[in-house]
Amino acid sequence: MLAQSIALTASLLTIITNWLVGNNKSSGWLIGLLSNAVWLLFIFVFSAWGLLPLTIAMIYIQTRNYIKWKKEKP
């Protein structure tokens, strides 16, 4: 039950992140960091190591995209 709750929370935060970023909302980036933190919690608590490369990649991509977005935003 706990695993499903954490995974559902992380999934919903990921969906919200993409929605907000797609609408040029800066709050999307903060929620994205929270989402990745929840995914990392899930990975470490439940030894879901197969998700670790994806989560690391997402942290890198979101950080890179935020920096690019910040430079382009007036």
The string of DSSP codes covering 13-54 is: HHHHHHHHHHTT-THHHHHHHHHHHHHHHHHHHTT-GGGHHH
- The tens digit of pLDDT for each residue in 17-74 reads 999 999 999 899 999 999 999 999 999 999 999 999 999 999 999 999 999 998 987 6
Q: Flag whether the pTM goes above 0.85.
A: yes
Range of the structural domain that residue 58 is part of: 2-72
How many domains does the chain contain in total?
1
pLDDT at 72: 87
| Residue in 66, 65, 44, 69 with CA at minimum distance from that of residue 55 | 44
